[in-house]
Amino acid sequence: MGFDEEWGRLRAEAAGRAAAEQPPTAVAEAPARNRLAEFRGRLVLVPHDERGGLWTAPLGGMDWICAFSDEAALARFAQARDETDRAWDFRRVPGAWLLDEVIPALDFPCGVALDAAGPDGTVFPPVRGIVPDSVALDGPVAA
């Protein structure tokens, strides 16, 4: 077997191994994609602020809409804030609506924090793949 044939065989073997192995980022991304898909397809609770709008909290130089999976998660949040004595009015909204309609309508960068103060808390920052590219911080307008 000549060099060209041997080189071709080695390249084919390497390509086969590379296709069979998932990069570490792909393995780590799968649960995040699943969590995002789950969030998009469910109704979540979003407390009202004092003006009747969606309640947000600043963190890391950006605002986050606080959303909760259920009333127990909202109660944990209220307890963590030592605000269990007040009424937490909320509305049920689709997660996809928050990401696809609400965030693009805002005039400031905002993400969604799901189940803050809980063991399974998740954040959905305003980046490509989560919100529309036109409002993503890493989207074409921001670049």
Q: What is the pTM of this model?
A: 0.76
Q: What pLDDT digit, counting tens, does each position of 5-27 carry?
A: 666 666 666 666 655 555 554 55
What pLDDT, on the 0 to 100 scale, is given for residue 20?
56
Please list, residue by residue across 122-134, b when 16 or more beta carbons sit within 10 angstroms of its beta carbon and e when fewer do.
bebbbeeebbeee
Looking at residue 8, its pLDDT comes to 62
Neighbours of 13 (CB within 10 A): 10
At 105, which amino acid appears?
A: A
Q: What is the pLDDT of residues 51-93, one digit of tens each?
A: 999 999 998 889 999 999 999 999 999 999 899 998 899 999 9
